[in-house]
Amino acid sequence: MLGVGMVGHAFMGRVHSQAWRSVRAFFDVPCTPVMAAVAGRSPERVRAAAERLGWASAETDWRALLRRDDIDLIDICTPGDTHAEIAIAALEAGKHVLCEKPLANTVAEAEAMAAAAERAAARGVRAMVAFNYRRVPAVALARRLVAEGRLGAIRHIRAQYLQDWLVDPEHPLTWRLRRDKAGSGALGDIGAHIIDTAQFITGERITGVTALTETFVRERPDGDGGRGPVTVDDAALFLARTTGGALASFEATRFATGRKNALRIEINGSEGSVAFDFEAMNELWFHDATLDDAEGGFRRILATEADHPYAGAWWPPGHLLGYEHTFTHEIADLLSAIAAGADPEPSFADGLQVQRVLAAVEASAASGGGWTPVP
Amino acid sequence: MLGVGMVGHAFMGRVHSQAWRSVRAFFDVPCTPVMAAVAGRSPERVRAAAERLGWASAETDWRALLRRDDIDLIDICTPGDTHAEIAIAALEAGKHVLCEKPLANTVAEAEAMAAAAERAAARGVRAMVAFNYRRVPAVALARRLVAEGRLGAIRHIRAQYLQDWLVDPEHPLTWRLRRDKAGSGALGDIGAHIIDTAQFITGERITGVTALTETFVRERPDGDGGRGPVTVDDAALFLARTTGGALASFEATRFATGRKNALRIEINGSEGSVAFDFEAMNELWFHDATLDDAEGGFRRILATEADHPYAGAWWPPGHLLGYEHTFTHEIADLLSAIAAGADPEPSFADGLQVQRVLAAVEASAASGGGWTPVP
Amino acid sequence: MLGVGMVGHAFMGRVHSQAWRSVRAFFDVPCTPVMAAVAGRSPERVRAAAERLGWASAETDWRALLRRDDIDLIDICTPGDTHAEIAIAALEAGKHVLCEKPLANTVAEAEAMAAAAERAAARGVRAMVAFNYRRVPAVALARRLVAEGRLGAIRHIRAQYLQDWLVDPEHPLTWRLRRDKAGSGALGDIGAHIIDTAQFITGERITGVTALTETFVRERPDGDGGRGPVTVDDAALFLARTTGGALASFEATRFATGRKNALRIEINGSEGSVAFDFEAMNELWFHDATLDDAEGGFRRILATEADHPYAGAWWPPGHLLGYEHTFTHEIADLLSAIAAGADPEPSFADGLQVQRVLAAVEASAASGGGWTPVP
Amino acid sequence: MLGVGMVGHAFMGRVHSQAWRSVRAFFDVPCTPVMAAVAGRSPERVRAAAERLGWASAETDWRALLRRDDIDLIDICTPGDTHAEIAIAALEAGKHVLCEKPLANTVAEAEAMAAAAERAAARGVRAMVAFNYRRVPAVALARRLVAEGRLGAIRHIRAQYLQDWLVDPEHPLTWRLRRDKAGSGALGDIGAHIIDTAQFITGERITGVTALTETFVRERPDGDGGRGPVTVDDAALFLARTTGGALASFEATRFATGRKNALRIEINGSEGSVAFDFEAMNELWFHDATLDDAEGGFRRILATEADHPYAGAWWPPGHLLGYEHTFTHEIADLLSAIAAGADPEPSFADGLQVQRVLAAVEASAASGGGWTPVP
């Protein structure tokens, strides 16, 4: 039995709850997670969330979760400005931590968190950052193909995360548009995902960047009848080089009209290529360049076969999975790592490295696009 | 509170369990389903299933479920040869019934079931047949477009359900390949789905058919070292006319190499068309023929918007749903109908009508393809 | 040098002209075609066509072409009711013949034409029927894959030819909608193409059919202010069995709203599958079922590689071909056959066999869908 | 009558020949082009090309074309290092000029050419640079939609030109890999196309760039048994801003394994988006964001309707066009401009502006990615 306490119960809290609720029915996890408590600031809202999402109790202060003996793991589903404080306190209290991405709002916070995770690991306490897209079966299959050498030397990475929910200039000034809460805009929210996904699939790291960012709509309704300044980017584009010598391009935007959640990545290697789009998340497109030219072509692998990562735990071939399943997979892997006494991946150190790429992007954009190495 | 007892815990039992477990976290259902008991023949296996799938108790005889006061609804997830007996007994015991498709193995059984459902309805006891594909958001959206007149007069229906799991001649002779258990082969298993889906979207009924069926591999490994006869169809094709004067074609096969779960339907009307493929189940393709020719074309609607059927209950746009969600939607609708004192759809009468189409297909095929009206 | 005389200069005449004009620049043809004369009934229109399409002279009677010594080949681009008379006279006059499809409007005419072609062949005079879709590189590649055994035993053929130009009930009553001129409607015009294409790719023949046809709009504007009866089918659907034991479905319609020229064919075999859609005519989708499940999937082969049929004669990979190129390929093959003293394919005998399938479809539909063997 | 003399008869010469040969059969051009002469250095090869491609005579020195009275227009199909000399001489000799892209190998050459074109225009002599992709019907339709305001304010341009013919390290060191002949590598050859296409569709200009380039394979077989240095880029990536405030990304590479000729462009505006891929060149994907969310989606417009740019001159809807047709359209427009006494587009001034973007990209890449304004 592993008691779980979750902090936050909005979008991320809802999806994490579904994952905690489902994981044991599909995966042979080494321990049974118990949905012990959820924490939120509003007593009414957190009680309603507990009831609806299936948590046994509700707390109005996340610190209360840390004091409870029936809670072994803290699942952090709050905005980025709170991650460092909660995660470090939880780890020091001997609780395992699952923390939403991006790891933090600044490199300094992320460094402190990674250091805390390292100290905790020495005591058998584990920390994981929730880059859930690694657990899309098609993405994990792409990683496997690269690891098996099927793509050869990586030449190009072409990654985009395209959304369009800010195209309307009347969209209100929510916390995601404020630097003090969110750290950055499209860059940290969705750009962080494509950085992690690209590095995960290729096994390479970004060594430097040149970047442009833009805020197309500078003021938005503040909810009090006025307008307030948007203090984060609407879009962030950058070019990069990797440890393996690939040329890469990245784009994160909330202004790609008609694209709803298009996390796209294409990787070209000397022996083959893969392409993925989250809007068709059950498909991996694979080109095997070692075949005869006359029969070459990108093939649409429906990543629902028993041999595909995670897919065998669910339904027969062709019976699709959805967004939420990536979180179930994440939690299954986390529970396995805890039981095995191993550090789960992606670790806080991985989260810190992504944070350093984000910081390099912001520095390059601020300097007008100059080349900026990632430390 | 509504106590649920489920019969059967294989593939269908697993997916129904996930739906019962999840429905209340996403839909404002009028009552709280309680997963009271699961029934299965093997004591060990049913206990393990109860534990894993989240049922509070296990029974080794489905009749025990009918005697329990804490159970208000029987969910039938067993092969077709058992549906009539269980469903009729449950309805007579005053339990609501959710029954997997096809409703039965014969028209006679289905007639008895529909009659029992009609009697039960008079006492406020409800029955529903589980044609889950109606609850794919994209399919329900197609229905809505037709109902709004966006397609005009329906001219063509083109429906296929393509799988390939029998291509290998060494695939064993499971119950689905035996007429006594399954009633028919691809026809009843997956053909029933496209009949229901086509009729649901168009609001029209099939009036007659001309059909061909085939069993490509006549003997398969029987599990005892020998080979036994396959007594059902591997593939069934039929042409049809509908009440509205459309020409329709249907194909159900387990020999469509490379197609895993391709439930496809295209409908052409005088004002527009829709096309759907379950292997990309979050997409509906819609052509609006009233637009200027120069800007006409099939558009890919990602059926994940808040305004799309069922989709608003889940995640933001572009965050896909999967196979299992169709069952959650089905159960949400069933609970709403029970609470409202209304007959859920599709009813057992709907299931009986599909059974009559299946029987007409078999009769036509037996006669060498002659025209066979549907009563 | 090979003198060519073309009869008819409408749609088919325009595309044949482009092929005659282009063939020698791209294919190593054994003789140089000379565009000697075009024949048409209206003196003004045929002269204008000759001038524009690049024919050296114009005639107002096709018989004049047969009397000219500078003409060695007659290219018949007129409606089906004239094919038999022109083709037989041309062959008897010692002219090679290229004849548009369907070969004729009746089986009797087609039989006479095939007999004439057989007599002519004995004298070294050649005849070819213009099923141009065989010469789409992707279609020819599909044929090659089947011939190499890459698909194994053929189980299913799924062929459709979908257009929508008759959806508007005000579309006028042109010759294609009159039985006396066109023989049949969608069936002969586009159904003939999918019959030929399916048989060409698989190397199998249709042995019998069960069919439905429909005329959705029964009267149309006759051009004189009134309305006249449509005497052909708007849509024809049929199921079939083949010499190799496959189950096949065919649909030809002019009422598939939003589909412009969707000649589609999918073929499933025990070892693999292919799929094709003319609206993306440079692509062949191929599934190789002998690969490991984990990397299987339909691959999009862009049929523009040097090793693909016909493609090497044109441009580098990825530089697409269009509709008209299929005619250029057809003529290149015809010229090669003439020079080699071989019968070109598809022959008039092939055209006759397709005509017999068309007749069986009409007979089955007239009988209400009964099974009708193809002689 | 307009006499044409073509210089060069390799890939570009073959496709230009097909366009000159075909244009008058499909377009109502104001004058009849006469294929008077082709020039090439090898007497045997140029004579063979003339014979095969349909040119009335052959010359071994391009200067001979300028001296002939029967030649009114010079069509330059040679490598970039020769463009300036030939084009300027031709214009000064009073011949109209069609020049392949990129306009030149350097900005200085391009400036001289643009100046020569301006002087010539004053005398009624016209010059055009052959950015043929503007004349893809789907691309011209995209331009029309933007010009009509259907996309609103342009926010993003995402352009790629992906090929893979250099992935093999044994591909020989042809002229396209030598800076002295080609000026640059992927950048000038295919990058120039996406710069022009993006500017053409949006009507905006690139104001500055930040760029990375790479040569993955530094030495290749030189044809004499040794290996020589590759002196151009294999891939060039750059980010840009435009006059209208859009953020843009561009990538040109010959190392995108599996992509053969994927000129792709997506443009997102405040009211809608378009997307295009040359590997499916008959399709334009258009998203109209002014529609209700529930029916929004990218629609696949098959750009073969009579109302689509250029398409009406060819075949019925759904009968696709290919690569070569873009050149026929280009020549039709050129002939119309000459007859109208107007400057054709794209002009040499347009070609010069593209050259300045190419130079800025090279300067930025040389400086390690720093922001570089386009003059």
DSSP A322-353: -TTHHHHHHHHHHHHHHHHT---SS-HHHHHH
Residue showing tokens 């069952």: B327
Rounded mean pLDDT, A280-294: 97
Tell me what the pLDDT averaged over chain C comes to: 97
Is pTM beyond 0.90? Reply is: yes
Judging contacts by C-beta atoms under 8 Å, the chain D residues touching residue A369 are 210, 239, 369-371
Residue from the list D249, D271, D297 with its beta carbon closest to the beta carbon of A237? D249
Q: Rounded to whole angstroms, how far apart are CA atoms B359 and B213?
A: 13
Confidence of residue C46 (pLDDT cuts 50, 70, 90): very high
Contacts of D304 (CB under 8 A, 6+ apart): C260, D137, D282, D311, D314, D315, D316, D317, D318, D319, D320, D321
Interface of B with C in 204-233 (CB under 8 A): 210-212, 214, 216
For the stretch B175-184, pLDDT in tens is 999 999 999 9
Any chain B CB within 8 A of the CB of C257?
A: yes
Does residue B196 come out as left (phi exceeding 0), alpha (psi in the -120 to 50 range) or beta?
Answer: alpha
Q: Which of B349, B286, B372 is nearest to B114 (CA)?
A: B349
Q: Rounded to whole angstroms, how far apart are CA atoms D86 and B340?
A: 84
Q: Rounded to whole angstroms, how far apart are CA atoms C186 and C191?
A: 6
Rounded mean pLDDT, D50-59: 97
For the stretch A106-142, pLDDT in tens is 999 999 999 999 999 999 999 999 999 999 999 999 9
Rounded mean pLDDT, B339-343: 95
Could you give the percent of chain C with pLDDT greater than 70? 100
User: CB C93: neighbour CB atoms within 10 A?
Assistant: 17
Judging contacts by C-beta atoms under 8 Å, the chain D residues touching residue B299 are 287, 295-300
Are C58 and C40 contacting, i.e. CB atoms less than 8 angstroms apart?
A: yes
Judging contacts by C-beta atoms under 8 Å, the chain A residues touching residue C307 are 292-294
Cβ of C297 and A302 within 8 Å? yes
State which residue of chain D sits closest to C53, comparing Cα positions: D25
- Based on its alpha-carbon atoms, the radius of gyration of chain B, rounded to whole angstroms, reads 21
How confident is the model at residue B37, as a pLDDT?
A: 98
Rounded mean pLDDT, C292-314: 97
Confidence of residue D368 (pLDDT cuts 50, 70, 90): confident
Strands D73-76 and D2-7: parallel
Q: Which amino acid is at C346?
A: P
Are C255 and B155 contacting, i.e. CB atoms less than 8 angstroms apart?
A: yes
> Is residue A368 pLDDT above 90, yes or no?
no
Cβ of D304 and C165 within 8 Å? no
Rounded mean pLDDT, A331-340: 97
> Is residue A369 pLDDT above 90, yes or no?
no
Tokens found for residue C83: 């094919």
Q: Rounded to whole angstroms, how far apart are CA atoms A373 and A356?
A: 10
Phi, psi at C349, each rounded to 5°: -65, -40
For the stretch A29-79, pLDDT in tens is 999 999 999 999 999 999 999 999 999 999 999 999 999 999 999 999 999
Cβ of A262 and B318 within 8 Å? yes
Residue from the list D15, D22, D323 with its beta carbon closest to the beta carbon of C18? D22
Q: Rounded to whole angstroms, how far apart are CA atoms D126 and B357?
A: 71
Residue from the list D293, D295, D299 with its beta carbon closest to the beta carbon of B298? D299
Rounded mean pLDDT, B285-293: 97
> Is residue A324 pLDDT above 90, yes or no?
yes
Q: Which of C153, C141, C174 is nearest to C275 (CA)?
A: C141
Rounded mean pLDDT, D215-222: 97
> Is residue C368 pLDDT above 90, yes or no?
no
Cβ of D257 and A249 within 8 Å? no
Any chain C CB within 8 A of the CB of D317?
A: yes
> Is residue D295 pLDDT above 90, yes or no?
yes
Q: Rounded to whole angstroms, how far apart are CA atoms D26 and D20?
A: 11
Strands C272-277 and C283-288: antiparallel
Tokens found for residue B183: 């009633």
> Is residue B368 pLDDT above 90, yes or no?
no
Interface of A with C in 115-144 (CB under 8 A): 141
Are B290 and B272 contacting, i.e. CB atoms less than 8 angstroms apart?
A: yes
> For chain D, how many residues are written?
375
How confident is the model at residue A273, as a pLDDT?
A: 98
How confident is the model at residue A33, as a pLDDT?
A: 97
Tokens found for residue D314: 């060819």
Distance in Å, alpha carbon of C165 to nearest chain D alpha carbon? 9
How confident is the model at residue C369, as a pLDDT?
A: 87
Cβ of B268 and C289 within 8 Å? no
Residue showing tokens 């969600």: B325
> Is residue B369 pLDDT above 90, yes or no?
no
Q: Which chains sit next to B, with 3 or more Cβ pairs under 8 A?
A: A, C, D
Q: Bridge partners of B4? A: B35, B73
Q: Is C228 helix (H, G, I), strand (E, B) or coil?
A: strand
Tokens found for residue D72: 């009114």
Any chain A CB within 8 A of the CB of B24?
A: yes
Distance in Å, alpha carbon of A112 to nearest chain B alpha carbon? 32
